[in-house]
Structure formats: structure tokens, C-alpha cells
């Protein structure tokens, strides 16, 4: 691996091959069962810890793999071809870890990152609330200083790893009256379990696991805080109040690359299923792949899937170079996720009635795809971000 985090082509192939073998041997036989039962895949999560995926983007000095965003995006796309939900477990966790790695104090990095890298502590980024999604400045969760602690009060919703996880990076308002609002926001690393007993931490209440159309098996849920104490020295990221909004939006960039890569994975699998089915399903005495109407669909699906792959590669390379990548990540996220939904829909139509059956994987792909157009910032917002950055980068 060089200083940029890039591994050799041979090492990358070896890593991806090992993940492919795991997907074939361990994931493919059980994915439908876990997904349909909406059951937490404990053993598969343990496997991902052992493979180092919870430390994929954490630097080696803290025990992580230190992978580039480009290699990471390829891993996400591969796993999403088999079962997209699995990528959520480690992506939300890594968004939390990157907040500490990018903005944390030396003591915070030394304390948290080695435990994040191994998956000993698993968690996520707790931003969304019942009345605040894309508009993060609308959050109501507060944290007030009380001696050596902050006391957190509020509720978070749609949080990955909220039920089975151990810790969260919680976006709070430490100065609710600040104007503009983002100046009053801070980020706290908050353990949600007692380190000794494993019980819920003081002041923490886990709500329900949210029932969802797709993206099942993963513990997307609610979590509440009622004067929950959080150690200020280890918890206040960077040791300074008022910087949380910047940290949250910075974390979303890799999240959008991840979601775009998921879109690539779903689109690839939906395309593969359509191509295979079209060659074995016959109408009017020949495979439907020989009908021009089906060929028109497959041609467009293939071209858009490849375009999505290239946009994700572009966004990942931009992330690896450093600096702002909200335009590149927004382009990749918007196009790849819209493509995933379109390709999944067309694949279902090519499958006909069988596409509506749980006996075929396209049914699950079709249900998973819509989430990605909403999560990590809606696609409507992505187009606005793209336009604003386009104008800012090209002043007249």
C-alpha cells in the first residue's frame, strides 16, 4: 500500500476475490431467509468484523485496513450484488469512525479508533430525527455541559446499528439559540451500552426496529436520550463546540459514495438476472432475448449501469484526492441510485409474473432500490448540490 491508501492491483484482486468467496459460501445461501424474516444476521456481521470491513477506511496505525475510497466502493458494490443490507452495517459505522479520524483529538483517536477498527465497538452516525432529515439544522436533540459530562436529551430516528450497536456519533445542539443554527451544533461520541454489563447506558432508551419495505435484516431503529451522560473529554469530537454540522456533512460524502456503489451493485445484479432470464424464457417459439423489445431494454440497462460505475469511480477518486467532493459524490449518488431503481424495475418487467415472486431475487432488488434515492440526502437535494457547486466552480 502506498501513502495515498492505494493498494496494488494484485492485492485488490485478492481482497475482492476473498469477499466473493465469502459471498458465495456464506451469504448467498442465507440472504433470502434473513431478509424475508427481517432477522439480524449475527454470524455474517461477525464475519465482516473478522475480514476487517469495520475498519476498512480506518488508518493502519489504529488497526484499520486504510483502504482508498475507490477500493472501498468496489467492495460495497460486490456485496450489494448479493445482499445490499450487509453494506449498511459497516458503512454507517465507518461514517462515525471517519468523524473521529478526521476531526478528533489525539486522545479520542487513540481511545476509539482501535476498537472501531476491530468491530469491538460497532455503531453509526446519529443525525436524523422525527422532524429533521435532509435539513440537519432542524435537529432538536440537545446536550448541556454538566461538570465533566454532557447530558444529552432528545430522540434520533432511522439510525443504523441503533438496536444491536454499542456506540453512536450523535449530532446535538450545544447552543440551541445560535444563529446561524449550524454554529450551535456539536458532535458527541456516545456509548449506548454500559461497558461492564452490556446493558443500555444510563439515560439511553432503544426504541423499535423500524419495519421497512426493503433493506431488511439490518437494525434501523429509534433511540432516545434523557439526560444521558457523555464524557466531555472523549465525547466532544475535536474538543470544541459548534463544529458538529461540518463534521456531519463531511461524513455524508463517503456515505454518498457508499450509497452510489450500492446502486451499482443492485443495478449489476438486476441486469445479470434479466440477461439470464431473457435467454431461457421463451415466447412465440424463441427466447425473449431475441425479441427487439427486450433487446432495447437490455441495451439501455447495460449502458446506464456502466455509466453509474464510472461516476462512482470518479467520485471515489475525487474523495481519495482530498478536498470537497460534494458535487462528484452527488452526481454519483443521484445517477447510480436512479439507475438502480430503473434497472430493477425493467428487470422485473422482463421477468413478467415471475419477477413478482419471492422465488426470484429480482423481487428483493426491486424493494431495496427505492431506499437509495432517499438515504444520505434525497436525490432532489443532490441535484441542487450539483448545480450550486457547478456555479461556484465556474464563476463568470
Could you report how far apart the first and last alpha carbons of the chain are, in Å? 42
Under a CB-based contact definition with an 8 Å cutoff, are residues 219 and 158 in contact? no
**What is the rounded CA–CA span in Å between residue 78 and residue 13?**
12
The burial of 197, by beta-carbon neighbours within 10 Å (0-12 exposed, 13-18 middle, 19 or more buried), is given as exposed
Q: What is the number of other CB atoms lying within 10 angstroms of the CB of residue 14?
A: 12
35 tagged catalytic? no
Cell of 2: 502506498
Helix then strand then coil, in percent of the chain rounded to 5, is 60, 15, 25
| CA 161 distance to own-chain centroid | 11
Of 81, 222, 328, 376, which one is the catalytic site residue?
A: 376
> Do β-strands 220-231 and 149-160 pair in parallel, antiparallel, or remain unpaired?
antiparallel
Angle between helix axes 292-321 and 244-280 (nearest 10 degrees) is: 150
**What is the rounded CA–CA span in Å between residue 184 and residue 148?**
19
| CA 226 distance to own-chain centroid | 27
**What is the rounded CA–CA span in Å between residue 343 and residue 350?**
10
> Do β-strands 167-173 and 123-126 pair in parallel, antiparallel, or remain unpaired?
parallel
Question: What are the angstrom distances between the C-alpha of 291 and each of 168, 282, 286, 287, 347?
Answer: 52, 10, 8, 8, 15
Rg of the chain over Cα atoms, rounded to whole angstroms, equals 21
Q: Which residues pair with 132 in a beta bridge?
A: 129
Residues catalogued as catalytic: 376
Amino acid at each position: 500500500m502506498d501513502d495515498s491508501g492505494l493498494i496494488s492491483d494484485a492485492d485488490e484482486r485478492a481482497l475482492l476475490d476473498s469477499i466473493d468467496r465469502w459471498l458465495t459460501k456464506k451469504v448467498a445461501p442465507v440472504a433470502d431467509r434473513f431478509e424475508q424474516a427481517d432477522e439480524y444476521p449475527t454470524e455474517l456481521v461477525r464475519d465482516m468484523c473478522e475480514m476487517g470491513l469495520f475498519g476498512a477506511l480506518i488508518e493502519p496505525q489504529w488497526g484499520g485496513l486504510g483502504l482508498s475510497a475507490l477500493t472501498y466502493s468496489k467492495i460495497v458494490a460486490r456485496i450489494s450484488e448479493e445482499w445490499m443490507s450487509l453494506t449498511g452495517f459497516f458503512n454507517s459505522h465507518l461514517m462515525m469512525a471517519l468523524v473521529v479520524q478526521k476531526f478528533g483529538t489525539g486522545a479520542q483517536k487513540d481511545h476509539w479508533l482501535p476498537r472501531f477498527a476491530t468491530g469491538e465497538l460497532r455503531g453509526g452516525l446519529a443525525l436524523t430525527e422525527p422532524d429533521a432529515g435532509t435539513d440537519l439544522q432542524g435537529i432538536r436533540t440537545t446536550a448541556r455541559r454538566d461538570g465533566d459530562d454532557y447530558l444529552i436529551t432528545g430522540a434520533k430516528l432511522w439510525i443504523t446499528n441503533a438496536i444491536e450497536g454499542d456506540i453512536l456519533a450523535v449530532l446535538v445542539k450545544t447552543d440551541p439559540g445560535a444563529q446561524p443554527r449550524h454554529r450551535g451544533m456539536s458532535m458527541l461520541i456516545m456509548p449506548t451500552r454500559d461497558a461492564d454489563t452490556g446493558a443500555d447506558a444510563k439515560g439511553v432508551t432503544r426504541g423499535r426496529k423500524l419495519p421497512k419495505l426493503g433493506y431488511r435484516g439490518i437494525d434501523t431503529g429509534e433511540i432516545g436520550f434523557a439526560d444521558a451522560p457523555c464524557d466531555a473529554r472523549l465525547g466532544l469530537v475535536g474538543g470544541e463546540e459548534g463544529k458538529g454540522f461540518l463534521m456531519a456533512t463531511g461524513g455524508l460524502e463517503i456515505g454518498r459514495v457508499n450509497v452510489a456503489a450500492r446502486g451499482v451493485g443492485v443495478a449489476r445484479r438486476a441486469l445479470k438476472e434479466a440477461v439470464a432470464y431473457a435467454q431461457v424464457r421463451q415466447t412465440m417459439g424463441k427466447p425473449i432475448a431475441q425479441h427487439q423489445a427486450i433487446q432495447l431494454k437490455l441495451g439501455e440497462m447495460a449502458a446506464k449501469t456502466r455509466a453509474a460505475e464510472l461516476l462512482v469511480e470518479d467520485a471515489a477518486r475525487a474523495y481519495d484526492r482530498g478536498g470537497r467532493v460534494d458535487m462528484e459524490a452527488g452526481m454519483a449518488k443521484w445517477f447510480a441510485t436512479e439507475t438502480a431503481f430503473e434497472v430493477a424495475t425493467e428487470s422485473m418487467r422482463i421477468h413478467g409474473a415471475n419477477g413478482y415472486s419471492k422465488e426470484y431475487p429480482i423481487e428483493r432488488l426491486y424493494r431495496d432500490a427505492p431506499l437509495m434515492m432517499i438515504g444520505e440526502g434525497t436525490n432532489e437535494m443532490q441535484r441542487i448540490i450539483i448545480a450550486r457547486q457547478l456555479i461556484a466552480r465556474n464563476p463568470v
